[in-house]
A and B are shown apart, each in its own frame.
Chain A
Amino acid sequence: MSDADGDLVEIESQLLDIVAQEGMIDRGRLNKDAVLLDLDIQSADYVMILMAIEEKWGVYLPVDEDLTEAKTVGDLVELVKGKIVEHKAKKATA
């Protein structure tokens, strides 16, 4: 496993921690196929999750099309992971 892959795994795990904590959901229920609606993740939880992500990685994510289309925990994690990597790359070249 390369360092970059290791980073991604770490980010993924930290993201799940955030979703569990801010959404007040048992971490064990957060598998990739779990549907966000079924977990009772509501609009206010999204705001809390996005704020926690911003605090951790410094990336500001508006509630845009992609985010509203995330249906499962896997969708959300993939999307946010991508944005964090993009943000890190931007910061590195800036």
Chain B
Amino acid sequence: MVITGTGAISACGIGAEALWTAARDGRSGVRQTLFPTLKRQVILEAAPISGADYQIALSTTNPRFQDRVSAIAQIAAGEAIDQAGLGVADFGERCAVSIGAGFGGAQTMDENYHRLLAEGGSRKIDPMCVPKIMTNAPASWIAMKWGIKGPSYCISTACSSASQSIGLGAMLVASGTVDRCIAGGAEALLVPGVFASWEAMHVMTNDKCRPFSRNRTGMVLGDGAAMFVLESLESALARGSKILAEFAGYGTTNDAGDLLRPDRDGAARSMRMALDHGRLEPTQIGYVNAHGTGTIANDLNETLALRDVFGDRFAEMLISSTKPIHGHALGAGGALELLITLKALEEQIAPPTINFIDVDPKLGFEPVPNVARPFDADVVLSNSFAFGGVNASLALKRYEA
């Protein structure tokens, strides 16, 4: 199974290349993000898609019937499909779509609640509310636009939505159910109601997001979408498509423990499962794009789990978190990060963890601090760990013809 196309939109701009170069060069899309309708806003930064980029996404889609989350999903899918060179005959029943989303049509929900409650119902509710808000809208719009008539799925497992969607897509291809799958995640949650809800969780930083660093105080939210064309090797070769990477392994587990606190064993089992699935040895892994949210709990837990899984290899392989660049895009997070992981494999460069101050003695390692670093390896890994105890790990391997 291979990847033949990628696409993205994020705070770093439109396009997979914009996301990758920002991550590699340490250019952050995080900036001051104020919501005038909030009476009180404590956290002042996020990684939003720019207004201009939203305009571009909306101008080529169907905003009367879509929340902007579906618009950005389509922009990213279009880029991936173009790169893979898929034509009309490549869709139909032998193609699937599997798109994760966390909050669905957040902007539509937020605006319409505001009309109902704050404005006393004086303005009428958008009659397209339900189809705009439903979490599976991005998957369905992609299916409609390209005529994808096979299975369509929307996995909504918070921060693991996209990684699980990609994993499921890969399984559909591997099982022979379909020849290819458009898979990824989309999230457009930077609206007053969702932002205030995240503030109330007290896991966002009012400093800078500094994954794995001493003095880290939390995460930063972001919007974005990233999509992949997953395909059987046979189909990719038959079409003569350029193969970007081999999809090598998928693992997913549940902690079955605490709703919010991550679990070392659950995270380790997820990574081991991805390695076992791809018959990979820990020694083959050169780079891990960590979940690395910048919260105390995740970064400690993930470090312990990585040490459990990789043992002696831990000290040699490169590990970083790119969340301070593109923000934590929840339902799209795993897709943005897998894309960066793929480009890292292609260029053999590990993107840095920016905003890093110093080693946290409790973690005892440097996560490629502040500046990218080259590596030499054929396999890379990306992790996502979600509230609800949902863990997912994806492994990619350099393709050799």
Which residues of A pack against B, CB within 8 Å?
42-44, 46-47, 50-51, 54, 60-65, 67-68
Contact B202 A43 (CB under 8 A): no
CA distance A23 to B243 in the complex (A): 54
Q: How long is the Cα–Cα vector from A51 to B201 in the complex, in angstroms?
A: 8
**Cα distance, A43 to B261, chains bound together (Å):** 6
A73 to B297, CA, bound (A): 20
Residues of A within 8 A of B260 (CB): 43-44, 47
Question: Could you tell me the distance between the alpha carbons of A60 and B205 in the complex, rounded to whole angstroms?
Answer: 10
CA distance A43 to B297 in the complex (A): 10
Nearest Cβ in chain B — how far from A84, in angstroms? 15
| A47 and B201 contacting across the interface, CB-CB below 8 Å | yes
Give CA–CA (A61, B296) in the complex, Å.
13
Q: For residue B218, which residue of chain A has the nearest CB?
A: A62
Contact of B206 among A47, A60, A67, A68 (CB under 8 A): A60
Write the chain A residue with the least CB distance to B207: A62
Instruction: Give the docked Cα–Cα distance between A47 and B206 (Å).
Output: 16
Tell me whether B42 and A60 are in contact (CB under 8 A): yes
Q: Is the CB of B202 within 8 A of A61?
A: yes
Assuming the contacts A62-B217, A63-B297, asked whether A50 and B202 have C-beta atoms less than 8 A apart, the reply is yes
Which B residues between 259 and 284 are near A, CB-CB below 8 angstroms? Answer: 259-261
Q: List 11 A-B contacts (CB under 8 A).
A: A43-B259, A47-B201, A51-B200, A54-B42, A60-B42, A62-B206, A62-B217, A63-B202, A64-B216, A64-B296, A65-B217
B261 touches A63 (CB 8 A): no
Residue of A nearest to B362 (CB): A65
The docked-state distance in angstroms from the alpha carbon of A63 to that of B217 is: 7
B400 interface hit (Cβ, 8 Å): no
In the bound complex, residues from chain B placing their C-beta under 8 Å from that of A67 are 296
Given contacts A42-B258, A43-B259, A44-B260, contact A63 B200 (CB under 8 A): no
B295 CB-CB contact with A under 8 Å? yes
The answer for the CA separation of A47 and B201 in the assembled complex, in Å, is: 6
Q: Which of B201, B202, B218 has the most CB atoms of chain A within a 10 A radius of its CB?
A: B202
Flag whether B203 is at the interface (Cβ < 8 A). Answer: yes
Q: Which residues of A sit under 8 angstroms from B259, Cβ to Cβ?
A: 43-44
Please indicate the chain B residues that have their CB under 8 angstroms from the CB of A54 in the complex: 42, 202
Residues of B within 8 A of A47 (CB): 200-202, 260
Verify B261–A60 contact, CB threshold 8 A.
no
Max chain B CB contacts within 10 Å: which of A60, A63, A68? Answer: A63
Contact of B296 among A42, A60, A63 (CB under 8 A): A63
